Structure 1
Amino acid sequence: MKIRRLNNNSLTGPCPDSLSKIEGLTLVDLSFNNLSGALPKISARTFKIMGNPLICNSENNCSAVSPEPLLFPPDGMRDQSQSGGGRSHRVAIALASSVGSVCVVLIIIGFLWWRYRHNQQIFFDINDQYDPEVRLGHLKRYGFKELRAATDHFNPKNILGRGGFGIVYKGCLHDGTVVAVKRLKDYNIPGGEVQFQTEVEMISLALHRNLLRLCGFCVTENERLLVYPYMPNGSVASRLRDNVHGKPALDWSRRKKIALGTARGLLYLHEQCDPKIIHRDVKAANILLDEDFEAVVGDFGLAKLLDHRESHVSTAVRGTVGHIAPEYLSTGQSSEKTDVFGFGILLLELITGQKALDFGRASNTKGVMLDWAKKLHQEGKLNLMVDKDLRNNYDRVELEEMVQVALLCTQFHPAHRPKMFEVVRMLEGDGLAERWEASQNVDTPRLRSSENTPQRYSDFIEESSLVVEAMELSGPR
């Protein structure tokens, strides 16, 4: 994936022809410079040139307004006007020059005002007259009235899910397409506008069958909305724990399929995107199911871009308690290994059918699923871990294998966790036995003997000196 961001750099002169020679471009952003002249043919999926008033269009006619040309009378009338021709000609020249000067001044004022307005907002500055049919790459900009009508004026009966940043509604567009419309509660809340921009940019760059596809968005002075395909089978969390509509429980084969599909989606984010993307909130509530029960990773509101040369990114700790990796809790450093940890917790959710933090309250585990699962595995009592809705209809060998993958992914030290390509291989039945045996021989006695090293995940949560926000995000449920 190739990206060229050259926006807001005060670049002048013509657009370089070298851009047209780069193959496989995903995004070229030349917006808000002072470029002029004709544009070369650039083969990029998304090409942004807004804020360059001197750029020429496809007919090679520049958009800058030039002085109006002089208007001469028809040939038959020239003889009649020869006596006053010289004076009229001079008046016409003076008038045209004045009009042209006024136009140039207005263009300059308009451009400066546009730049000022652009700097006031992180994302797009849109007015009500913008053509909703215009698309940015494969994204469509929808009109607010269209989405309001599609959701029956955001009728509470159409709510699919609620989260920290907004509410998701089921909607039906005028052409009959069923969609999920995510409406931010208030984009002016801390992180609201950034979260909106993050989802638009991240999802528009990442295209994979196991990643949620963004159809489009809507931006007005007071509204921020995202439009996704409607997922008829909801989220994995809703099918595991909130089965109130009489839908059958997910059987074992579908749970295995969901695990593998999610792993492939995360593998694409980590290994096949450039820059790579860290999701940072992998959990059952953010994994959606299409009509074929194919897993679709959604809700990129906390995602971060990470150059392949970098090992981690440091941020304030955000996510959902019970899914956050220990090193992220204690240092604020996240990497692809934090997603691997979250994926391991997701596997335990698929096995148990319960939430990671509300699990095992009746046992002495302080409600943390990971500690409870490790204890049962050590005691050889995996049958007590299995979701009762499965009614013992599962493969014991496959259960053991999935638990082993989950425990490998949730090791406290990120260096000991596998990468997502290894996880995919193990779920496909390749290399698990060797990896598990190697993990049992890891030399960690020094760490285990340290009085300051937590021995349980619940201890990491309690001893973390950082403020952790337990956030139920607002991806389509």
Structure 2
Amino acid sequence: MKKRLCMFGLGVLAWFNVVAYATLSPSGVNYEVVALMAIKDALKDPRNVMDNWDLSSVDPCSWRMVTCTADRSVSALGLPSQNLSGTLSSAIGNLSNLQSVTLQNNAIFGPITEAIGKLQKLQTLDLSGNMFSGQLPSSLGDLKNLNFLRLNNNSLTGVVPESLSEVGGLTLVDVSYNNLSGPLPKLSARTFRIIGNPLLCGQKSANNCSNIYPEPLSFPPNSFTDQSSTNEKRHHLTVALGTSFGAVFLMILVIALLIWWRYRKNQQIFFDVNDQYDPEVCLGHLKRYSFKELRAATDHFNAKNILGKGGYGIVYKGTLNDGTTVAVKRLKDSNNFGGEIQFQTEVETISLAVHRNLLRLWGFCSTENERLLVYPFMPNGSVASRLKDTIQGKPVLDWLRRKNTALGTARGLLYLHEQCDPKIIHRDVKAANILLDEDFEAVVGDFGLAKLLDHRDSHVTTAVRGTVGHIAPEYLSTGQSSEKTDVFGFGILLLELITGQKAVDFGRAANQKGVMLDWVKKLHLEGKLNLMVDKALKQDFDRVELQEMVQVALLCTQFNPNYRPKMSEVLRMLEGEGLVERWEASQSVETPRFRGLESIPQRYSDYMEESSLVVEAMELSGPR
């Protein structure tokens, strides 16, 4: 075992060396590290969100607010709503692999650097809600892959650069509430917002300054020439013919509507949504699929293609016309209010959250009677399915992959809780909702219960939903969910990875009274950790890592949410930093009472039995 781990460690180290070397200068300095440190130095960081950025680091991918690609290149820089001030360094232009820059709702001032035009892979640039001044850089036109440009609510002056008209893939450009002037270029963006610019939208302005500034209609040059004599003679004839044909057309239309109504009663009609039908889901960066296309891709939603079933719908495996394999979630009861809320929540939430450990929404389909979401297909299924002895001939997850699954899930939840604005609470963290891509990288799926929060809110009160065995005590008792609700669910997920069993099925599977958490606590007190490990691992696991993972799980599942760690702390403990101190502190402090938990039972199973709330045990949405 030690020999294999040693060989694996050497292999990982060699891989990191190869990747790191690609971004090193001859003097051994990582260009991306230098660029990020220059950005940090130019900003004032009162919350110390960049305190772990270190110039001596070789790999910046573990830094807060930094996201990397699989080859360890920096792909996203997200520091929204962090009270940052200072200026934006021109060194940002050296991060050549950046795809997303989100610095909205801070107090950054000064000009927007021309170096931004060097980011050829950039798709999203959000500098809104700051204090940027000066003219918009003409180099914005060099960002050929740009989709979203938000520069609203700043103090920018001058004209919108004509070079932006050369960017063909723009979906949204928002330069509202600045001090811009001059002529406006003709942009490809479907949405172009300019409201709040006095020099563009003053009383004498000819510009259309509504929130959505569409491309103006054009008419033939001679359409309105004066042809009074000829037109007057033709007018009476036109009125007479129009009246006759209008009456006939009206009769035909009434008959057609009657036939259509009778036909619709016997057969469900499907049609694709357009901009006017449902403006809430007009998200230009997501691909729109027709119902016919998705029905063909799933072989008419054949039962053989079902990947999983959930409380809000069924997920099918599908193959598009171009051969791409996808997962299609077909929401049930789409005409029901709850189904509509589910659809809008998931579309809005997933489109906001972009991270390598979060499931990416590719597109959607909306008709009068259908709501469908399209995701990338996860070839290795869900963690829950892979924890079984075998599934379709695939082996179970080994210990190393289980540990990496825990790390990847923690990184995804950390992004939702602390790096996304508004922050997102998942509310149903469990093995069935963690998917594995082709490289066995953990991907957090199922945002059906996600709750969007403003970053100033600490919790939200709502109806209790989730999966029995994963629901935090305070959520059961008060209906209040917070980030700590997800931390509790993550702790149960760690126990599922260790034991190989579903928390909700534990009592039946292990022939034990109570739930998994109570049983693990008992074995931990007795020092019998080996008895809780999945037998499918055949004793092939690291004993030290087992002890550490159990301790992290128990810290995450403390009844008092105030004593549970944040996901950033959880990730550091899983990586071997600060666990000993946190564990010792938790053992020396008597558990105080929490509002709503004045009489906490000693066992989680007792707490569930005493809860007066109705808990819905649901396998929710998301490809399995």
Whole-angstrom distance in 1 between the partners of 2:218 and 2:153: 20
Q: Does 2:298 match 1:156?
A: no
Matched residue, 1:383 = 530
* Superposed CA offset, 1:163-199 (max 9, x none): 1111111111000110000011221345211111111
User: Do 1:70 and 1:92's aligned partners in 2 also have CA atoms closer than 8 Å?
Assistant: no
Give 1:242 shift. 6.8
Whole-angstrom distance in 2 between the partners of 1:337 and 1:54: 38
Q: Map 1:117-196 onto structure 2 (within 5 A).
A: 127-128=271-272, 136-189=283-336, 191-196=338-343
Matched residue, 1:292 = 439
Helix, strand or coil at the partner of 2:152: helix
Whole-angstrom distance in 2 between the partners of 1:22 and 1:148: 49
Whole-angstrom distance in 2 between the partners of 1:154 and 1:323: 31
Helix, strand or coil at the partner of 1:171: strand
Q: Does 2:616 match 1:469?
A: yes
Whole-angstrom distance in 2 between the partners of 1:68 and 1:26: 32
Whole-angstrom distance in 2 between the partners of 1:457 and 1:206: 33
Helix, strand or coil at the partner of 2:568: helix
* Superposed CA offset, 1:62-120 (max 9, x none): 89x99961355xxxxxxxxxxxxx75476789999xxxxxxxxxxxxxxxxxxxxxxxx
User: Do 1:340 and 1:410's aligned partners in 2 also have CA atoms closer than 8 Å?
Assistant: yes
Counterpart of 2:396, as a letter, is A
Matched residue, 1:105 = none
Q: Map 1:399-438 onto structure 2 (within 5 A).
A: 399-438=546-585
**Alignment CA distance shift 1:18-1:283 (3 Å):** closer
Matched residue, 2:225 = 70
User: Do 2:297 and 2:320's aligned partners in 1 also have CA atoms closer than 8 Å?
Assistant: yes
Whole-angstrom distance in 2 between the partners of 1:427 and 1:257: 10
Matched residue, 1:459 = 606
Whole-angstrom distance in 2 between the partners of 1:416 and 1:55: 47
User: Do 1:46 and 1:136's aligned partners in 2 also have CA atoms closer than 8 Å?
Assistant: no
Whole-angstrom distance in 2 between the partners of 1:316 and 1:66: 61
Q: Map 1:261-272 onto structure 2 (within 5 A).
A: 261-272=408-419
Matched residue, 1:115 = none
User: Do 1:204 and 1:214's aligned partners in 2 also have CA atoms closer than 8 Å?
Assistant: yes
Whole-angstrom distance in 2 between the partners of 1:247 and 1:231: 14
User: Do 2:431 and 2:493's aligned partners in 1 also have CA atoms closer than 8 Å?
Assistant: yes
- Which of 1 and 2 has higher RCO (CA within 8 Å, sep 6+)? 1
Give 1:136 shift. 3.1
Matched residue, 2:453 = 306
User: Do 1:214 and 1:227's aligned partners in 2 also have CA atoms closer than 8 Å?
Assistant: yes
Structure 1 residue runs of 5 or longer lacking an equivalent are 5-16, 31-37, 73-85, 97-125
**Alignment CA distance shift 1:67-1:457 (3 Å):** farther
**Alignment CA distance shift 1:42-1:71 (3 Å):** closer
Matched residue, 1:232 = 379
User: Do 2:407 and 2:574's aligned partners in 1 also have CA atoms closer than 8 Å?
Assistant: yes
User: Do 1:19 and 1:42's aligned partners in 2 also have CA atoms closer than 8 Å?
Assistant: no
TM-score, with length taken from structure 2: 0.59
User: Do 1:165 and 1:192's aligned partners in 2 also have CA atoms closer than 8 Å?
Assistant: yes
Matched residue, 2:367 = 220
Whole-angstrom distance in 2 between the partners of 1:412 and 1:198: 29
User: Do 1:426 and 1:432's aligned partners in 2 also have CA atoms closer than 8 Å?
Assistant: yes
Give 1:235 shift. 0.2
Matched residue, 1:337 = 484
Give 1:203 shift. 0.4
Q: Which moved more, 1:451-460 or 1:266-275?
A: 451-460
Matched residue, 2:506 = 359
User: Do 2:471 and 2:485's aligned partners in 1 also have CA atoms closer than 8 Å?
Assistant: yes
Counterpart of 1:375, as a letter, is K
Counterpart of 1:347, as a letter, is L
User: Do 1:127 and 1:221's aligned partners in 2 also have CA atoms closer than 8 Å?
Assistant: yes
Whole-angstrom distance in 2 between the partners of 1:454 and 1:434: 27
Counterpart of 2:214, as a letter, is N
**Alignment CA distance shift 1:452-1:389 (3 Å):** same
Q: Map 1:35-114 onto structure 2 (within 5 A).
A: 57-58=214-215, 60-61=216-217, 69-70=224-225, 72=227, 87-88=229-230
Matched residue, 1:273 = 420
Helix, strand or coil at the partner of 1:349: helix
Whole-angstrom distance in 1 between the partners of 2:313 and 2:193: 28
User: Do 1:361 and 1:367's aligned partners in 2 also have CA atoms closer than 8 Å?
Assistant: no
Give 1:313 shift. 0.2
Whole-angstrom distance in 2 between the partners of 1:236 and 1:443: 35
